[in-house]
Structure 1
Amino acid sequence: MSAAEDGGNRSLGQLVASATTELSALVHDEIALAKAEIRQDAKRAAFGSGAIMGAAVFFLFSLPVLSFALAYGFRAWTDLGLVWCFLIVGGIYWLFGIVLAAFAIAKFKKVKPPQKSIDSAKQTAAVLSNVKPHPRATVDGPVVAVDVTRSSV
């Protein structure tokens, strides 16, 4: 309820309490927005990390076992020297690893700061920095500015 809706009958304490409640709600909403953006970027980072771990597992565990099988298969198929067959197999595994690493790097590049939350916080700070107390007429006649920062509410 605003001061215009109830005919201006709200006291200074009620106005300060209302402003505090609304400011608190705004801060909570901005925190929720930041959490949502960070959660989304954390998922992207997790997928990128998973791809890196997959690449590492692929390099470490598959190379020794499958390299021997493929190298001997190339040897039987091409009549190349055994050394060349092992080099070809190693190059194929490195190619697979590079593709997975490129995928992971692409996922990591999509991780960005929570820009919506930052923009919203800057807008809120700009609005709050321009807020000034409204002048209020006293019973004696002159207009006096009310300093709400020193009120005892």
Structure 2
Amino acid sequence: MAPEPRGQDSSVGQLLSEMTSDIQTLFRQEVELAKAEIREEAGKAGKAAGMYGGAGFGGYMVALFASLAAMFGLANVMDTGWAALIVTAVWAGIAAVLFVMGRSRMREVSPKPQQTVETLKEDAQWARHPSK
């Protein structure tokens, strides 16, 4: 059955039914857009978290073996305690740099589906003033 053209022949019930159907379709599309945006942002967050983990593990391994090598190397020219303290300070600086880099990547992640919020605002504006 073909829908009747809009005009004087359309009843209020038909117009209301069409409007309800259009609103439901619009709502479904907005929900799908929100899901897509959230998936994208979750992917970014996962990559940033992986970088945190990789930086932590890599930093640990490097710190462990390089610290031992540097400490024993410095122990040839100074007391072993001072050599260990110097090596520890170097790795503390490296860890701070890795943390700052990971934090800057994490700040790029937006928890709010921005595009969906904007289109919902536009939809609400249109619903208030459909003739504009």
TM-score (norm 2): 0.76
Structure 2 match to 1:3: 5
Distance 1:92 1:40 in 2: 37
**Equivalent position amino acid for 1:120 in 2:** T
Report the secondary structure of 2:100's partner residue.
Answer: helix
Q: Deviations over 1:89-133 (max 9, x none)?
A: 21232222112211111112112222211111111112212359x
The structure with the largest alpha-carbon Rg is 1
Partner of 1:51: 51
2:117 is the alignment partner of 1:118: yes
Q: How much is the aligned-residue C-alpha RMSD, in angstroms?
A: 2.7
| Bigger relative contact order (CA 8 A; separation at least 6) | 2
User: Which residue in the other structure is 1:81 paired with?
Assistant: 79
Structure having the higher helix fraction is: 2
Gaps of 5+ in 2: none
Number of residue equivalences? 128
> Superposition pairs for residues 9-48 of structure 1, below 5 Å?
9-48=9-48
Q: What's the offset of the Cα at 1:41?
A: 1.8
Identity of aligned residues (%): 27
Is this contact kept in 2: 1:67–1:89, CA < 8 A?
Answer: yes
* CA contact 1:51–1:101 (8 Å) conserved in 2: no
